[in-house]
Amino acid sequence: TQLRMADAQLQGSVALIHGELASAEQHTAVGAELARVRFPAGHWKRLDADVRQAEVALARRDLDRLRQWLTPAITDLQRRHWPDPLREAQARNLWLSLLRETGSTAEAEVYARHYVDWADRQFGARHSSTLTAHQGLNLVLLLADQLPEARQRLSADVQLASDWLGPSHATTLGLRLQLATLMARQGEPGSALVALESVRTDLLTQAEPDPEILLVTLGNLASRYKDMGQWAAAEASYAQVIEQATQIYGATHPRVWLNQANMAELLLQRGRSSAAMALASQVEAQAQDALGPTHRITAFATFLRGRALLQLGEAGTALPVLTQARQRLQAALGAEAGLSLRASWFLALAMKQAGQHDAARDLINEGLPISLRVHGASHPEHLDWQRLATELNAGP
């Protein structure tokens, strides 16, 4: 039984690596059933089989099943350590992924710091499980807009991984990708674009590039092209990443919806407001049904729909949509996250265009010091806040 279980688990892991999610789900289910036959309830190998099913659920972004398979294992880990620290590390990493997707950013940050401390003690610095833990914390810091600490940690992690594993190793590429994303967030689009194109070049020289890293790289490249006004390159890149995400995950997957939302934002910036609103509305409906109203993809799509209405000259109609988007983004990301601040700015602009000058002035004056703290005085988005504040405080 144990040999059959190990064979099923191995085949499931191989299928997962190759992005064959249906096959991975089938093999891990067989492995879990054999574990239930061979081991008593509560045995760590039975829980480990559940963790393997949770890995597939995460790849599918099936968060309900992820929580279902993972919760018993995490409950067990709160009582004791497992005999296999590598599988324990994987369970911890999956739980952090679940918190990042469904919990608050603050809750995910607390768990991520605990997880990193445990991995540092358990494995030491030069170990793949430790670097995976560091990547998890880096992602949370990026979500929480704690950019200076994220820059410091990422620079050290990239240097360590490059020295130890080489610059083209999958782990190093993942860290380089995070660092490029951070450069863009800190107002360095040119440096970020160079870094991303370097990652893409290294990926495409590999016989079997990691599909997840390639997908994220292409998505980030599209965002950087957009930031630099290279509209045709950005639109082509988003189309490519949507096509690849659909091939890997299927059409009704959060990764596809997120990139469709990014495409909608690009359409807005190119002045194609009606097409942007149609795409944002489609993403919002699908994401709300599958992920809930306060998931960040749903909230982002609501925000884009409100912006499209505003751009179409329908400020009065945009007001309740942008109000809802701001509430959803604050619930998903926190009030001081960059996207939440952008929603506040657009809401104030809608209030101004709808003639609600006092409300717009109050909202801008409330957000201005937060924008300064989050963005810094010279960031383009903070300059937008200052400009709108000047207009509103001048009258009427």
Quick one: angle between helices 296-311 and 254-269, nearest 10? 20
236 domain-assigned: no
Whether residues 290 and 202 fall in one domain: no
% of residues, the chain, pLDDT over 90: 45
State the total domains in the chain. Answer: 3
| Full domain range(s) for residue 48 | 1-102
Final residue belonging to a domain, choices 55, 82, 102: 102
Mean of the pLDDT values across residues 122-133? Answer: 93
Of 290, 292, 357, 354, the C-alpha closest to 322 is 354
Concatenating the DSSP letter of every residue in 207-254 gives: SS--HHHHHHHHHHHHHHHHHTT-HHHHHHHHHHHHHHHHHHH-SSSH
pLDDT at 19 over 70: no
- Domain membership flag for residue 248: no
Domain presence at residue 172: yes
In the listed set 208, 227, 248, which residue is the last one of a domain according to the structure? 208
**Which two structure tokens, joined as six digits, stand for 79?**
């009582």
Q: What is the pLDDT of residues 149-191, one digit of tens each?
A: 999 999 999 999 999 999 988 889 989 998 998 998 888 888 9
Question: Where is the domain boundary, 102, 125, 141?
Answer: 102
Please indicate, yes or no, whether residues 177 and 91 belong to a single structural domain of this protein. Answer: no
pLDDT band with cut points at 50, 70 and 90 for residue 332: confident
| Any domain includes 193 | yes
For the full predicted model, state whether its pTM sits above 0.85. no
Give yes or no: residues 94 and 157 share one domain.
no
Write the CATH number for 319: 1.25.40.10
Q: Examine the domain organization and report whether 312 and 189 are in the same domain.
A: no
- For residues 266 and 392, state if they share a domain: yes
Q: Are residues 308 and 381 in the same domain?
A: yes
Q: CATH number, domain at 50?
A: 1.25.40
Query: What band does 319 get if pLDDT is binned at 50, 70 and 90?
Result: very high
